[in-house]
Amino acid sequence: MAGKRPHVLAVPIPLQGHVKPLMSLCRQIAKHGVKVTFVNAHSIHHKILSASQKQQDEDEEDDSCHSIVMETVPDGFTPEDDPNNHSTLLENLPRTMPQSLTDLIQRINTSNPYEKVTCLIADIAFSWIFETAEKMGAEPVAFSTPSVANLAFMLHTPKLLEQGILNINGSLQTGDVVSLSNDIPSWRNGEFLWSFSRDPEIEKVLFEFTTKGFKDEPAATELICGVCFFRKPAATELVPNLLPVGPLNLLDSNNVESTNFLYEDSSCLRWLNTQPDRSVVYVSFGSSGVFSQQQMDELAFGLDLSGRAFLWVVRPDLANGSPVVYPPGFGTGLGKIVEWAPQKRVLSHPSIGCFVSHCGWNSTIEGVSNGVPFLCWSYLGDQLHNERYICEKWGIGLKIDFDEEGIIRSRYEIKNKIDMLFSDNKFKENALKLKEMCGKSVADGGTSYNNLKKFIDHLYRR
């Protein structure tokens, strides 16, 4: 019928690393006139509102979000629950969200018959939502946030369970490693998407949440990921119907990050403007990593020993949830410390020379697409497998090794590895090659550019 407008309902997993890339995709869709409704769990929505309200006092308004409607659904917390407990939230959502989404779609469709929800994009681990989409007459589309290799592993998990390679808790039952292809780094215990060695109960919840619903092929009609193909990786052959549309951070150039859970301190950008090109060590461990005080001390002294300018993101809860205490003798004369940084703009800044990172996939792809070498400090989940790509497959970084206790890294190793990244041009050269590939992919006529156009055209044809 003439006048009808496609309408996408987007539902991310309520974690920072999942909300952010899906919003980036939605911004690109909205730019082409598609209506977008973005749905967060109630507790997450309030974190975003709190951070964005403070941000708007500093930054220009983000015009691209005007056509994106923000909605919430109940997160199922009881008065006794801790609203910051991610495992409780993930356990609640399969029980509470399907009916909440059904009610929301009914309300939307009733309010404007010319803008009914025609497509529901959800994280692939939310496969149970796709049944709701089909029931409500919306096309189900899956969105994947991990690397293509880890997506392939997740989709192969039912077969690995059936073969007895993995046990019901998501750990290796036979052998020391598991491999899907000779061209893909193998996985060891503790390197899976759901791995969380600090708390086996949380690990079990994450395993069940991540793999639930994959006994058969996902019900989604499309499978989108926010990356581009690097040298036709073997992992893409294991996910043949994948539609890569990224790197999304290169497409989403807006200044305001409306989906951050924490306020971004943009003063670090002014500080970066005073530093020479490729001279600064950027240090950030994502939204959920925690350190012991001993690890904090080693990192602080390692940065001091490097003698280089550094920008260090130190969240209020980084020191294992306790107030951060810097070691005696640590000085920040060479560096700047902020609680949260506008990472996209930091990594694209010409003064950044290397990235000390936990190797979460969002951080990995943001560093790669900006040609920045890595010092890898991974500690859980798929971060360790991403680290192997960075160091072994792409040759754009070095890893920090555990000491004999398996936890604390040495300040001298940190200093030496930073020196190596700055002195050996091969890391920078390899990183710049990957940056060029990323740029070509999203440019007019590139693979990701064409895939995104193909998907948006498909939305209008429905």
Give residue-wise pLDDT tens across range 213-250. Answer: 565 455 677 889 988 876 556 677 788 788 999 899 89
- Report pLDDT digits (tens) over 138-170: 999 999 999 999 999 988 888 899 899 998 888
Of residues 67 and 329, more confidently modeled: 329
| pLDDT class of 437 with cuts at 50, 70, 90 | very high
Cis ω before 6 (30° cut-off from 0): no
The reported pLDDT for the residue numbered 64 is: 47
Kindly state the average pLDDT of the residues 80-105: 83
Task: Identify the residue whose tokens are 């890339």.
Answer: 21
Provide CATH 3.40.50.2000 ranges for the chain.
7-147+218-254+441-461, 267-423
Which one is the CATH code of 267-423: 3.40.50.2000, 3.20.10.10, 3.40.50.2020, 3.40.50.300?
A: 3.40.50.2000
The reported pLDDT for the residue numbered 53 is: 62
User: 363 is written with which tokens?
Assistant: 């951080």
3-state secondary structure the chain: CCCCCCEEEEECCCCHHHHHHHHHHHHHHHHCCCEEEEEEEHHHHHHHHHHHHHHHCCCCCCHHHCCEEEEEECCCCCCCCCCCCHHHHHHHHHHHHHHHHHHHHHHHHHHCHHHCCCEEEEEHHHCCHHHHHHHCCCEEEEEECCCHHHHHHHHHHHHHHHCCCECCCCCECCCCEECCCCCCCCEECCCCCCCCCCCHHHHHHHHHHHHCCCCCCCCCCEEEECCCCCCCCCHHHHCCCEEECCCHHHHCCCCCCCCCCCCCCCHHHHHHCCCCCCCEEEEECCCCCCCCHHHHHHHHHHHHHHCCCEEEECCCCCECCECCCCCCCCCCCCEEEECCCCHHHHHCCCCEEEEEECCCHHHHHHHHCCCCCEEECCCCCCHHHHHHHHHHHCCCEEECCCCCCCCCCCHHHHHHHHHHHHHCHHHHHHHHHHHHHHHHHHCCCCHHHHHHHHHHHHHHHC
Task: Identify the residue whose tokens are 């130190």.
Answer: 314
Kindly state the average pLDDT of the residues 316-331: 84
pLDDT at residue 126 greater than cutoff 80: yes
pLDDT at residue 110 greater than cutoff 80: yes
| pLDDT class of 3 with cuts at 50, 70, 90 | low
pLDDT at residue 1 greater than cutoff 50: no
Which one is the CATH code of 7-147+218-254+441-461: 3.30.390.10, 3.40.50.2000, 2.160.10.10, 3.50.50.60?
A: 3.40.50.2000
The reported pLDDT for the residue numbered 74 is: 87
The reported pLDDT for the residue numbered 393 is: 92
pTM, 2 dp: 0.91
pLDDT at residue 39 greater than cutoff 50: yes
pLDDT at residue 270 greater than cutoff 80: yes
The reported pLDDT for the residue numbered 178 is: 92
CA distances from 357 to 13, 119, 377, 398 (A): 22, 35, 6, 11
Burial zone of 117 (CB within 10 Å; 0-12 exposed, 13-18 middle, 19+ buried):
buried
Tell me the sheet residues that pair with 172: 166
Task: Out of 78-82, 299-303, 447-451, pick the least confident.
Answer: 78-82
CA distance 157 to 117: 32
CA distance 271 to 279: 13
The reported pLDDT for the residue numbered 438 is: 94
pLDDT at residue 361 greater than cutoff 70: yes
Is there a contact between 246 and 226 (Cβ–Cβ < 8 Å)? Answer: yes
